[in-house]
């Protein structure tokens, strides 16, 4: 079996993926496959997490980058390599280049998380910041390649890269031979394409489901049009899959072999990240949590056993803090309310007493006294509360209203 488009560098075959697996021996880890009791109960079938967040550099990207760079001719290696990435591919290229003794320059978006920028430099790459989204960064890296002669290492649009990512699929079949559905996040499509080639070649009955963020979902319109199309201003906190246009090479494979492409909301991504942290004890970035988000959004839609590919764990701590709070809010475990009260001694203590009775934990309190909307003797208090779920949120709101407060949620 071989698949590719007219614009492909070459078709991608099962033999390519097997060759990549041999090349990666001793370089990339066979990452763990962890069962999830909570997700299994939701789905009604065994669910396993393929933990590529525990791969070297914190994501699957090392696989494809190493295979691509290892296949360069000596004169190409001498010219160095250049790449563009929001972070995970950057780190993969940096480490692969260092292991192979090749000079690397990596372009990253200006808004890339600082930990990813620092890690890329520590792996040995020269980092240059350019553009706001990956597509702008890609253009800058390609211009650099044309100007300097450095070899451009595309994050997803090359057969060698796809073959390297496909080794995840071979490991899935080895670790969970009875798998019924593989769920994988998609940006440009390299990981999904590689997994699809490996899995479908050996087990054509396995269902492959790709997952994109709603604000950066270029595949649904592209598949409908029958060709890769660009979307305007992709927007999602899942920077690892924030890509405005599918790659030509993976698009052909995805169209032929991926059974379905789903989208998930930012709230669902937040809830999935929180679940991975609390239930699976895994630090996962939003892109890596996208398959889990798909399972949470419609658990009955997946035939088991299910393998969800947790593709990366390189999350900015600042983003993690925001996402966890967002995820808690989505689950009804975090509530922000504004309450107007009379500005007199003891008024705040009385308000907090009401919250204490209904067992709401106060995380933060902010007083506003100078807003022109307020009366002369009024104050507005903004409260951030830790709650126990939607029913508890409703109970807190009702208790405040019963006590005579005007509540704005």
Q: How far apart are CA 409 and CA 400, in angstroms?
A: 11
Please tell me which residue in 50, 61, 116, 200 is annotated as part of the active site.
61
Q: Is 22 a catalytic residue?
A: no
Q: What is the sign, positive or negative, of the torsion defined by CA atoms of 191, 194, 198, 204?
A: positive
In residues, how long is the chain? 409
Q: How far apart are CA 325 and CA 338, in angstroms?
A: 18
Q: What is the sign, positive or negative, of the torsion defined by CA atoms of 154, 155, 156, 159?
A: positive
Question: What is the CA angle 58-154-117, rounded to 5?
Answer: 40
Q: How far apart are CA 382 and CA 338, in angstroms?
A: 4
Question: DSSP assignment of 96-150, as one string?
Answer: HHHHHT--EEEEE-TTS-HHHHHHHHHTTPEEEE--SSHHHHHHHHHHHHHHH-P
Residue 308 is inside which H or E element, if any? Answer: strand 306-310
Q: Is 50 a catalytic residue?
A: no
Q: Catalytic site residues?
A: 61, 311
């Amino acid at each position: 079996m071989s698949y590719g488009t007219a614009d492909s560098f070459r078709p991608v075959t099962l033999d390519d993926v097997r060759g990549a697996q041999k090349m990666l021996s001793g370089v990339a880890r066979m990452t763990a496959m962890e069962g999830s009791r909570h997700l299994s109960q939701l789905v009604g079938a065994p669910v396993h997490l393929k933990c590529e967040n525990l791969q070297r550099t914190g994501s699957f990207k090392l696989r494809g980058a190493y295979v691509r760079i290892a296949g360069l001719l000596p004169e190409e290696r001498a010219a160095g390599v250049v790449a563009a990435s929001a972070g995970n591919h950057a780190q993969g290229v940096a480490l692969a280049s260092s292991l192979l003794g090749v000079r690397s320059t990596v372009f990253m978006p200006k808004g890339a998380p600082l930990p990813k920028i620092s890690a890329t430099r520590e792996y040995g790459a020269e980092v240059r910041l350019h553009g706001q989204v990956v597509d702008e960064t890609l253009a800058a890296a390609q211009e650099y390649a044309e100007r300097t002669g450095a070899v451009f290492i595309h994050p997803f649009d090359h057969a060698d890269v796809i073959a390297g990512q496909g080794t995840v699929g071979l490991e899935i079949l080895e670790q969970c031979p009875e798998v019924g559905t593989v769920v994988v996040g998609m940006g440009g499509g390299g990981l999904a394409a590689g997994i699809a080639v490996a899995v479908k070649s050996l087990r054509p009955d396995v269902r492959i489901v790709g997952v994109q963020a709603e604000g950066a979902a270029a595949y649904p319109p592209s598949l409908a049009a029958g060709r890769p199309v660009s979307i305007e201003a992709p927007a999602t906190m899942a920077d690892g899959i924030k890509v405005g246009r599918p790659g030509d090479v993976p698009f052909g494979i995805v169209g032929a072999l991926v059974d379905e492409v789903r989208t998930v909301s930012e709230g669902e991504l937040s809830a999935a990240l929180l679940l991975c942290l609390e239930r699976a004890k895994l630090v996962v970035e939003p892109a890596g949590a996208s398959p889990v988000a798909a399972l949470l959004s419609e658990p009955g839609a997946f035939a088991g056993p299910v393998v969800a590919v947790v593709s990366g764990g390189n999350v900015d701590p600042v983003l993690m803090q925001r996402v966890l709070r967002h995820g808690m809010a989505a689950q009804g475990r975090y509530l922000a309310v504004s309450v107007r009260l009379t500005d007199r001694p003891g008024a705040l203590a009385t308000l907090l007493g009401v919250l204490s009775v209904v067992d709401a934990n106060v995380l933060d309190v902010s007083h506003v006294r100078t807003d022109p909307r307020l009366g002369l003797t009024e104050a507005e208090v903004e409260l951030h509360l830790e709650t126990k779920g939607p029913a508890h949120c409703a109970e807190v709101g009702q208790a405040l209203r019963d006590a005579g407060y005007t509540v704005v949620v």
